[in-house]
Structure 1
Amino acid sequence: MMFEAISATQRWIFSWVVTLVVLHAVAQPLVCVAGTLGRAGDKARGRDREERRSDDSSGKTRGDTPSVAGRTISAVRTRVHDSGTHVESTRPRSEPHGNPGGRVHRRSPSFSIRHTPRYCPPPVSPSVVVVESYSQPIVAQPVIVQSVVPVPPPAPAYVPAVPEPVLSEPVMAPDWESPVALPPSIVPCDSVRVLHPSRGNARLRADFGSDFDDIGRFGMAFLAAQSGGWGIDVAADLYWESIDDEVREHMWVGDINLVYEWIRMDDFRSRAGLGVNWLHDSWGGEAGINFTVGADLWLTDVWSVSGELDLGTIGNATHFHGRLTTGVWFGNSQWFVGIDQRDIDTVQIHQWVTGMTVAF
């Protein structure tokens, strides 16, 4: 259509032009009846009814032709579509439409526009074209709600192990019979016991003996031997005897032996060897062969028993020597008591002994 092709401003201008043309064409032959509104207009302009009648008669003289005269109506309703104004006439039924006597007069076009007669049809209104336009449909957009979710901290890559108390773990001996192969550098061994200092490989002894009569003795001995190996055993004893108040005899007796420790345990040791016996007194000296055996037994860590036995010859006589002692250890030192017996052929010397031993 044409109105759809032009813009809104152009349609508005075109509507007003058409309205003015139509009103001008209708207002040319328009004849209005001087009714209530006409009288009100005359009163407003200061004119009375007689003047209006003279004007009407002069109009007839001029040959103007009225269009409508002497018409009576009860009410005139005029609706103006453009403005929506509702006008209702209140003129009584008995009064004819227009001036009394049915006289009408012609008015100018401008006045006719301002005072439109009630019987005239409503002015032609321009066509109203409704143009429908469509926009994009409203689509509900998704609502994004951001929420913060607490994330636990990552676990550390390395968690140090908490050591358990050593006392809570059972102490077990290693199972050496297991089929697990041990490295060459690891050699299985028996359990090692921490030995008392008295179990040293070397000992130095000093003692004193007496028969509680006329013979006394002072002796010293030294023993050094490897654990389960060879060693040396040396001993020397000095005897003295009082014959009377002016005479005292002295005699030295001793031996030197090469021994071998053939039994060695934690609480027991034994040795054996060969050596030489010797004797020296005021008349000279003699020597002979000696066979010796010795042993030590620890009843506890601080209490032990020791014994020695020597068999051989000195010169032309036989020789026998034996001793048995027991004592208590104080660290690496021992105090002991015992008996000592020495026989040279038919001469017997029996004594009680006491002394000290130091182990190292």
Structure 2
Amino acid sequence: MTRRVLCFGELLLRLGAPGRELLLQSPLLQVQIGGAEANVAVSLARFGHHAAMVGTVAGNALGDAALAALRGHGVDVGRVRRDPGARMGLYFLATGAGLRPSEVVYDRADSAFARAGSDAYDWPALVAEFDCLHVSGITPALGQRCADATVTAMRSARAAGLEVSFDGNFRPKLWAAWQADPATVLRAVLAEATIAFADHRDIEVVLGPDADAHADTHEARILAAAARAFAAFPQLRRIATTLRGQNSVDAHSLGALLVTRGGDVHRVAPQAVEGIVDRIGAGDAFAAGVLHGLLVGMADGDALAFGHAAACLKHTVPGDFNLVDAAAVGALLRHERLDVRR
């Protein structure tokens, strides 16, 4: 069953230090295309949906390369604007090793995407063609124009009856750059979401700490925060999140949790994820997998399991994009053997 999903966000150039080097330890950087919302679009396209991006890129060879990368993975980029006088947003990545965590440095100020406000997009016309809109908390963190555009897009989508998906993706470095009040901005955003990918920390950014909380486990804190979010945002129907444990940069455990407004709780037990190749984009792979499951009519628990498996597989794929398809996710869910396939 194919659905039409529109993803709104910034296409980025990812400039990574080779291997496990620190940034500019040697005078080389490896270039890839990324961005949280684009990652979701690529996954959904590979799962068989009509996935489209909307946003703005630089009207030069860098913007063209970003669009070509998405187009090559089956994403519709016909709604992405090009600004000839602007720059591409960048982020620099030094991949960690052992007990040294990975580090990201942003260079996104005054990018083509950040300069475009709500009036750059005809939201009622854009969302009219789709079944679902996906956005993330990264976009409103880029400045007031982007915050306004995010809320306008979500309001238009909900008015048109779309599923409205929001991934918290809280990025303190981006919010600090313009001294914004994340709680005020994100409250308006969450007021429009029908499904949120968020844990207790994301919800506390919006609603503040829970003074009455007595939870003593990670899951209990998430469940308590979810109850507060459902009470504050009447249109919100589902909250889903991964549960990550870390022994080192290369050895994690990953579980998942989905809570519904009606009080149903679905869980996926933590699974060892070792020999990690690249964890960037794993949360986006999870969101795309859960959305895929819900859009094709899976039960909530099955959609959660599909998203969890997709996120586990993303750790094996270099770059931002999760390049596995639904068959590969299904094989993992069936615990198929890991023999060489030939």
Name the structure with the higher strand share: 1
Q: Which structure has the larger Rg over C-alpha atoms?
A: 1
Name the structure with the higher helix share: 2
Scaled by the length of structure 2, what TM-score is found? 0.22
Scaled by the length of structure 1, what TM-score is found? 0.21
